[in-house]
Structure 1
């Protein structure tokens, strides 16, 4: 049974052993973002070289209608749309975790080397022909995250040291990627370049399914650890006073964030700036003191799906990577954040 109580202008709930504060503004923003996500998600499945009406898409999802339309929707457009939705959700949540743990709005997987590590190993697989699958990206991202954490550890880890070490690891991985690109054949280099920018083109179920599993596992973990995340935002000393196991909380939350970012990168490529800007947009929309995790994820999904629809309208025949639009939109936001600090 859920019990609601209003005291001092705030509404709280209690359900069994769980309790919390009801934030109407955050709920309203979340519902609006859910609609904003669904609009490009549904619209994206209707456009392409073979236009299909919304009713035709719905029928095709259930296996009805023309066989050609069923194949296009179920095997081509639905994996693409789900890859964008789930990758945005994972990137946004990972960015919120990184920025809250480090207490720095510039901390995100694409800044601290996680995405660069995934990219380096995937490009190596393409160049030397030992594979280019999802698991190479996952291994590269987790490996880079582990290196950053170990090198930044000094009886604990601090935000500024974690970011500085991450920037160094990102630069190293980017240099490796650039070197590999010079050694690759023309076809391999083109294939790698399309992936490096971040693209939803030609997504398959084999690329989407691991990301779905990662979100099913990591999202409940992140939600359960939410109280620790909010306490860490107050500072390590205050968090210790509140009974938070700071070192274990840092490790668990960063591992969760790294896993979300690496699986998203493996599915959609290192889509630029989504993990950086989504938490900041969500924080300002909700008026919270920290980036709200689920709202950040919905913001990330809205950014990627909207960017994908824009790329398909700007140059429909060129199959423009979605990372081109997110990079063009994210760079001014990054400059704005830098000038504010």
Structure 2
């Protein structure tokens, strides 16, 4: 069922099913966030949290909730949303659920760029991640190009590039001092440990800046699901649109990598999960962002809940994403797409 909202000369169609699913995801996200704020080696109940948020509570409660858990959770939500948006944009543009930045090597390129920037400057992680992602995207595209860009060639080339760039990342870590190498090795798995308000500001300000572009690209993305000749017949300039979509999606992925590390399979799994929830054939960017946030938050909460040791969140996102990858590979083989 479609609801039509009319405001003067503006008419907006809203799917009831999509609205219900969006409300459900928001409720689940709120519940998961509340649970994540409570859990930890120093548990907090609802009354204690409300007291801290209102300016009260003990100094220890304020430090744990405001300086540790809240920053970590807000970073997880933002990075997960950025990964989910990036993956959904690539998958919709390429008309293939396997074409996500973590599968085709763009996240690995961002990681190498960030590591290189860290070695050379001791900082500038975000510019390094953006440069690495852009360079890896250009290299993968050039290597996969053959009278166009067939999705299967892009995916296979990207998988090979991802393996090569992962090896380069390991080489860069081997040239660092012991403490830095240990920290960066955990970061490469994907971790949200020791996030602070600067990370929160970076991820959410970046999302706010890129949001208008994502909204603007929603319409052409819905047409790129058609065959190229049909989309061209509708008056769409495919090459500039694909360049714009690729640039925004890479910026989203690099932004997430710079704040949370290259969390595996979040960008890959968020889109298919959202499409299963809202099977309307249109880009499900908002649902993908919410799914990515939920996956990242649940993975980080599970990592914190393991007793005695602090596992990186990337361990749990890999456990979530691996079954989704196998399922999608089987589905693509059945369709003859691979």
121-130 or 68-77, larger mean C-alpha shift:
121-130
> Which residue number in structure 2 is paired with residue 87 of structure 1?
79
Correspondence 1:265 to 2:257: yes
CA distance in 1: counterparts of 2:96 and 2:13, whole angstroms: 25
Determine helix, strand or coil for the equivalent of 2:73: helix
CA distance in 1: counterparts of 2:236 and 2:41, whole angstroms: 54
Unaligned runs of 5+ in 2: 333-338
> Which residue number in structure 1 is paired with residue 316 of structure 2?
325
Assess if the C-alpha contact under 8 Å between 1:127 and 1:185 holds in 2.
Answer: no
Report deviation, 1:164: 4.1
Assess if the C-alpha contact under 8 Å between 2:79 and 2:259 holds in 1.
Answer: yes
> Which residue number in structure 2 is paired with residue 339 of structure 1?
330
Report deviation, 1:190: 1.8
Correspondence 1:51 to 2:43: yes
Instruction: Give the superposed CA RMSD.
Output: 2.3
Aligned length: 332
The residue correspondences of 1:77-226 to structure 2 (distance < 5 A) are 77-125=69-117, 130-131=122-123, 133-149=125-141, 157-226=149-218
TM value normalised by structure 1: 0.89
Report deviation, 1:291: 4.5
Report deviation, 1:62: 3.9
Which of 18, 23, 26 is 1:26 aligned to?
18
CA distance in 2: counterparts of 1:149 and 1:13, whole angstroms: 42
Q: Deviations over 1:302-326 (max 9, x none)?
A: 111111222222x233111111011
Assess if the C-alpha contact under 8 Å between 2:133 and 2:250 holds in 1.
Answer: yes
Residues 241/338 of structure 1: CA separation in 2 closer, same or farther (3 Å cut): same
> Which residue number in structure 2 is paired with residue 35 of structure 1?
27
Residues 38/61 of structure 1: CA separation in 2 closer, same or farther (3 Å cut): same
Determine helix, strand or coil for the equivalent of 1:60: helix
Determine helix, strand or coil for the equivalent of 1:22: strand
Q: Deviations over 1:283-302 (max 9, x none)?
A: 01112224501001101111
The residue correspondences of 1:306-325 to structure 2 (distance < 5 A) are 306-313=298-305, 315-325=306-316
CA distance in 2: counterparts of 1:250 and 1:83, whole angstroms: 29
TM value normalised by structure 2: 0.90
Determine helix, strand or coil for the equivalent of 1:296: helix
Report deviation, 1:65: 2.2
Assess if the C-alpha contact under 8 Å between 2:80 and 2:293 holds in 1.
Answer: yes
CA distance in 2: counterparts of 1:49 and 1:10, whole angstroms: 47
Residues 125/11 of structure 1: CA separation in 2 closer, same or farther (3 Å cut): closer
Residues 70/95 of structure 1: CA separation in 2 closer, same or farther (3 Å cut): same
> Which residue number in structure 1 is paired with residue 244 of structure 2?
252
CA distance in 2: counterparts of 1:17 and 1:76, whole angstroms: 48
CA distance in 1: counterparts of 2:213 and 2:25, whole angstroms: 22
Report deviation, 1:158: 5.0
Determine helix, strand or coil for the equivalent of 2:235: coil
Residues 143/63 of structure 1: CA separation in 2 closer, same or farther (3 Å cut): farther
Determine helix, strand or coil for the equivalent of 1:317: coil
> Which residue number in structure 2 is paired with residue 73 of structure 1?
65
Report deviation, 1:85: 0.6
CA distance in 1: counterparts of 2:10 and 2:90, whole angstroms: 25
Assess if the C-alpha contact under 8 Å between 2:37 and 2:70 holds in 1.
Answer: yes
